[in-house]
Amino acid sequence: MRALDSEITIRQARIADAAGVARTHVESWRATYRGIVSDETLDGLRIEERTAGWRNVLTGLTRDTPPGQDACYVAVDAADEVVGFACGGLAHPLASGATPEPYDGELYAIYLKPGWERQGIGARLTLAVATHLAAGGLRSLLVWALAENPSRRFYVALGGALVFEQEARIFDQTLPEVGYGWPDIQTLIAHCSVIAGELS
């Protein structure tokens, strides 16, 4: 039986969380993208390699990024084990190279371990990142999802509007992806607060 949402803590990620974030990342990819991303790619993901990558990311966030801009938050259970994470920062250019007007912020990634969905954890993670970015002066937010990913309904539930479509290179595949946007980041914060409260 899973822990209640009230037993889950949302906090900023630490370098020591790298292995937990990597495991969550790999397990979520394998559960969510099976049948969308090739089996060879998914089966080839290695937690050890991802841990090294995430350690570098979290070290960079700790040392180099200005407060209120890039951020990574984790959801941890009562034993301080990572069960989900979300990262965000300044919006990346579109695949065409154009600026994704009018969006200045981006939710880069949000993943939960399989079995931890529908408990309000995703909304709480999104709320943490959005609040952090808003505190740094960002006014809007964009998030990308693979077009075939059924979990993208989560962004619709948070009030996101479909605003972009493009193709993304995922390892050896080119796959369609869609962008959901919130022109006012405060609208997203409000939606997250309501959903997190209803599901907790």
Reported confidence tier of residue 194, pLDDT bands at 50, 70, 90: very high
Q: Alpha helix locations (H) across the chain?
A: 18-32, 39-43, 47-63, 121-135, 153-157, 185-199
Q: For position 129, which CATH number holds? A: 3.40.630.30
| DSSP-assigned letter for residue 181 | E
> What is the mean pLDDT of the segment spanning 171-184?
95
- What pLDDT was estimated at residue 197? 76
- What pLDDT was estimated at residue 5? 54
Structural domain containing residue 39: 5-199
What is the amino acid identity at position 85? F
pLDDT surpassing 50 at residue 70: yes
- What pLDDT was estimated at residue 178? 98
- What pLDDT was estimated at residue 1? 33
- What pLDDT was estimated at residue 196? 82
pLDDT surpassing 90 at residue 40: yes
Nearest to residue 87, comparing CAs of 101, 99, 102, 71? 71
Q: What is the mean pLDDT of the chain?
A: 93
What is the amino acid identity at position 70? D
pLDDT surpassing 50 at residue 17: yes
User: For residues 1 and 115, what is the distance between their CA atoms, to the nearest angstrom?
Assistant: 10
pLDDT surpassing 50 at residue 15: yes
> What is the mean pLDDT of the segment spanning 60-77?
84
Domain count, the chain: 1
Q: Judging by DSSP bridges, how do beta strands 82-90 and 105-112 pair with one another?
A: antiparallel
Handedness of CA 129, 153, 148, 35 (dihedral sign): positive
- What pLDDT was estimated at residue 108? 97
Helices (runs of H) and strands (runs of E) counted in the chain: 6, 7
Distance (Å) of CA 151 to CA 32, 53, 60, 135, 146: 8, 25, 29, 27, 9
Handedness of CA 31, 32, 34, 40 (dihedral sign): negative
Per-residue pLDDT tens for 76-135?
A: 999 999 999 999 999 999 999 999 999 999 999 999 999 999 899 999 999 999 999 999
Reported confidence tier of residue 68, pLDDT bands at 50, 70, 90: low
pLDDT surpassing 60 at residue 2: no
- What pLDDT was estimated at residue 69? 79
pLDDT surpassing 60 at residue 152: yes
